[in-house]
């Protein structure tokens, strides 16, 4: 394991260089503003007259078209959604890159699966915060930072890692620590984590538990508290202290029940399916499916969103969060 901190960064590598951040969503906003506040020369490339143009401009950022930003940037940091990066690269970035430039990402998806193929004389790097954009910005403003990942897919200039680390410092990540990885490792583990554990796995488990209680005749509100609301409390304990200290903080009843029962929930069949999910990510089967979905206008995703919005747990949760003051009225 190789970790980098502020002391390992050569900030001078970006002196007199321009970082062009493409996109101003959650990560684009946070990273561009953090880097600008750190003294880096940052421009933001956006679709002309798009929704983010005024917001970025009002925040004091130097805003211009994607084409102009890519032309100005010595480093082009692409932070738009995965599914449109390839098209935007081909139409607005590719021809603006010059020998010795760096193209940078916060997720290796499009490089790893070959949707973006920069010329051989271009550095390919990654600096990836391990936290949502809102937290990246908040932690920076509080004088700290979230941890991150750094990777170099191609070092055409001999200083690609230094460039990526200097960007990480500008975003506040090297205060917490940046772990070295590869585009392959970051991409495949990130997709697996999202699908099998963090997003798909967790929501599937919560909803299954909720429905089990409701179908057994318990109040939906009680079921929500026990399967969803308290999830954050447990995850926060694990985040801060690990499994062992989480078990120490809960009751002996919870500890015994949890340890004795969990392998009946996450079974050998579950682990077998996880391995299949990982295989589909490794072979590119998932990314092909995702590309087909987006080329068709995302009909399955839109359908799944409608189904999710109509879940009983969503309706009960929205009501309870408002009643408890956790969610403001629309």
Please spell the DSSP secondary structure of 228-295, one letter per residue: IIHHHHHHHHHHHHHHHHHHHHS-HHHHHHHHHHHHHHS-HHHHHHHHHHHHHHHHTHHHHHHHHHHH
10-residue mean pLDDT profile of the chain (330 residues): values are 96 96 97 98 92 93 97 98 96 97 98 97 98 96 96 98 98 98 98 96 97 97 96 94 95 96 96 98 96 95 96 94 76
Is residue 77 among the annotated active site residues?
no
Residues within the annotated binding site for substrate?
251
Q: 0.75 cut: is pTM over it?
A: yes
Residues at the binding site are: 24-27, 47, 52, 133, 190, 194, 226, 230, 251
Tell me the C-alpha distance between 176 and 174, whole Å.
Answer: 5
Q: In this predicted structure, what is the pLDDT of residue 51?
A: 83
Domain ranges of the chain: 3-180, 198-266+298-324
Structure tokens at 218: 């318990």
CATH code of 3-180, in short, is 3.40.50.720
Q: Token pair of 162, please? A: 């230094």
Q: Is residue 224 a contact partner of residue 313, using CB atoms and an 8 Å limit?
A: yes
- The annotated binding site for Mg(2+) is made up of 190, 194, 226, 230
Binding residues for NADP(+): 24-27, 47, 52, 133
Which of 77, 107, 112, 229 is catalytic? The answer is 107
SS3 8: helix
Q: How far apart are alpha carbons 61 and 19 in whole angstroms?
A: 12
pLDDT recorded at residue 328: 62
Q: Which two tokens stand for residue 1?
A: 């394991």
Query: How buried is 105 (Cβ within 10 angstroms: 0-12 exposed, 13-18 middle, 19+ buried)?
Result: buried
Q: Are strands 102-105 and 41-46 parallel, antiparallel or unpaired?
A: unpaired
- Which tokens belong to 152? 């170099």
Secondary structure class of 65 (helix, strand, coil): strand
Alpha carbon distance 306, 300 (integer Å): 10
């Amino acid at each position: 394991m190789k970790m980098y901190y502020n002391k390992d960064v050569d900030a001078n590598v970006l002196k007199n260089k321009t970082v062009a951040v493409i996109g101003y969503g959650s990560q684009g906003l946070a990273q561009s503003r953090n880097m600008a506040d750190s003294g880096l020369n940052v421009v933001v490339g956006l679709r002309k007259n798009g929704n983010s143009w005024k917001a970025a401009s009002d925040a004091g950022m130097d805003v211009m078209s994607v084409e102009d930003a890519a032309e100005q940037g010595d480093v082009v940091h692409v932070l738009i959604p995965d599914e449109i990066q390839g098209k935007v690269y081909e139409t607005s970035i590719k021809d603006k890159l010059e020998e010795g430039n760096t193209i940078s990402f916060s997720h290796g998806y499009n490089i790893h699966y070959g949707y973006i193929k920069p010329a051989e004389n271009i550095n390919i790097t990654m600096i990836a915060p391990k936290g949502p954009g809102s937290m990246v910005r908040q932690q920076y403003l509080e004088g700290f930072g979230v941890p991150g990942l750094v990777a170099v897919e191609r070092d055409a200039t001999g200083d690609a890692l230094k460039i990526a680390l200097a960007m990480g410092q500008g975003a506040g990540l090297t205060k917490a620590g940046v772990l070295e990885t590869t585009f392959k490792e970051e991409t495949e583990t990130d997709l697996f984590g999202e699908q099998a554990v963090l997003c798909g796995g967790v929501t599937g488990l919560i909803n299954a538990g909720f429905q089990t209680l409701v179908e057994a005749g318990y109040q939906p509100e009680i079921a929500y508290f026990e399967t969803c609301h308290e999830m954050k409390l447990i995850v926060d304990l694990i985040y801060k202290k690990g499994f062992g200290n989480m078990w120490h903080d809960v009751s002996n009843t919870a500890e015994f029940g949890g340890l004795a029962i969990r392998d009946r929930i996450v079974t050998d069949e579950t682990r077998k399916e996880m391995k299949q999910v990982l295989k589909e990510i490794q072979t590119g089967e998932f990314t092909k499916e995702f590309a087909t979905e987006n080329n068709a206008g995302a009909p399955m995703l839109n359908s799944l969103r409608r189904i999710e919005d109509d879940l009983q747990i969503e309706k009960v949760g929205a009501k309870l969060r408002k009643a408890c003051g956790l969610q403001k009225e629309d």
